[in-house]
Chain A
């Protein structure tokens, strides 16, 4: 089973700053199989990025994904107050299985 590790655990930044969130896999993951979600308190997760770098419908351009192999990154280019949330990466594995990373909490100062 592929294990996903996310860092940092918490990121505290000011509005307008750039946020860089890391997702590292214990084995190589196809770019097609890597997604990112945003979850705000009391809400369901929302798909941000699929295929490592494709923004989902309606997602602002300040959100971008990159990476390959075992290292993937979610970047928020200029933080806005409403970006305060927990961000999860997720991978699709062989034999039809899905695993999530533990999440990175983004706090806006």
Chain B
């Protein structure tokens, strides 16, 4: 059973940079696809970023200028960096896996980590 666990700061100041890490256990990070998704309190889901095992990436156009995703295969981790944070970035951030052969949906999710942007 694949398990994903997000880690990062719970509180970030406005204008600062958020760094989140997702640690994958129970399976190799290689040959799969990985994503970050967020959910503001009481609201719906918003896809942020996607990265393949080969390193190709894609981002939500509305966030693209502020977001970078990377994969650390030896550590079985992948990460998200988001710059210039505002209160609108306050959300639960989830990491998720996409299946190898049909990377069109998210089959495993982390439990999520709440990030609050406040001074």
Number of residue pairs A-B, CB distance < 8 angstroms: 57
B104 near A33: Cβ-Cβ < 8 Å:
yes
Q: Shortest distance in angstroms between A56's beta carbon and chain B's nearest beta carbon?
A: 7
Query: Does B110 touch A at the CB level, under 8 Å?
Result: yes
Other-chain residue from B46, B102, B111 in contact with A32 (beta carbon distance below 8 A):
B102
Size of the chain B interface, CB-CB below 8 angstroms: 21
Residue of B104, B105, B106 with highest tally of chain A CB at under 10 A? B105
Query: Does A47 touch B at the CB level, under 8 Å?
Result: yes
B50 near A100: Cβ-Cβ < 8 Å:
no
Query: Does B11 touch A at the CB level, under 8 Å?
Result: no
Interface residues of chain B, those whose CB is within 8 Å of chain A, are 35, 37, 44-47, 50, 58, 60-61, 94, 102-107, 109-112
Interface residues of chain A, those whose CB is within 8 Å of chain B, are 1, 32-33, 35, 37, 43-47, 50-51, 56, 88, 90, 92, 95-103
